[in-house]
Amino acid sequence: MLAEFEKRAGVSKEELNCFVEKSGIGLPQDYFEFMDYSNGGKGFIGENSFVILWSIGDLVKYNDAYEVNIYAPNLFIFGSNGGGEAFAFDFSANSQVVSVPFVGMDRSLIESVASTFEGFLFAMRNA
């Protein structure tokens, strides 16, 4: 599934714990497990889905830069399709994975992708 995905070295447990302590953001366990495998990266998942996943060090910085908490409260973006769509955890829906446009970002434009991060990866593979 990730044969065409350019992965990075994984994040240590200490780095993940530091992220949670500094940010106060508790992300889903399956996402942390993926970050242990690869600290972000980019490439195709399956034949048709290009994905850019942000590194642990960029998550808060990019969410702040896009003012996600203002335009789409309770979302936490973790990457994009390399175009106009962001991928995010929706904390108002039990950390469900959603997509939302970067331009015109608004909760009314959210589309559900999967109920888990692992489900998101499978959804991208099968798109």
Q: Which domain holds residue 17?
A: 5-126
Side chain identity at residue 84, one-letter code: G
> How many residues are given for the chain?
127
Q: What is the tally of structural domains in the chain?
A: 1
pLDDT for res 47: 87
Beta strands in 23-80 (DSSP E): 41-45, 49-53, 75-80
How far are the Cα atoms of 36, 41, 54, 71 from residue 110, in angstroms, in the given order?
28, 23, 20, 12
pTM: 0.93
pLDDT digits (tens, 9 = 90+) for 22-49: 888 889 999 999 999 999 999 999 888 9
Q: Copy the structure tokens of residue 29.
A: 């366990």
pLDDT band for position 116 (50/70/90)? Answer: very high
Domain harbouring 77, CATH code: 3.40.1580.10
Q: Copy the structure tokens of residue 53.
A: 């996943």
pLDDT digits (tens, 9 = 90+) for 50-104: 999 999 999 999 999 999 999 999 999 999 999 999 999 999 977 799 999 999 9
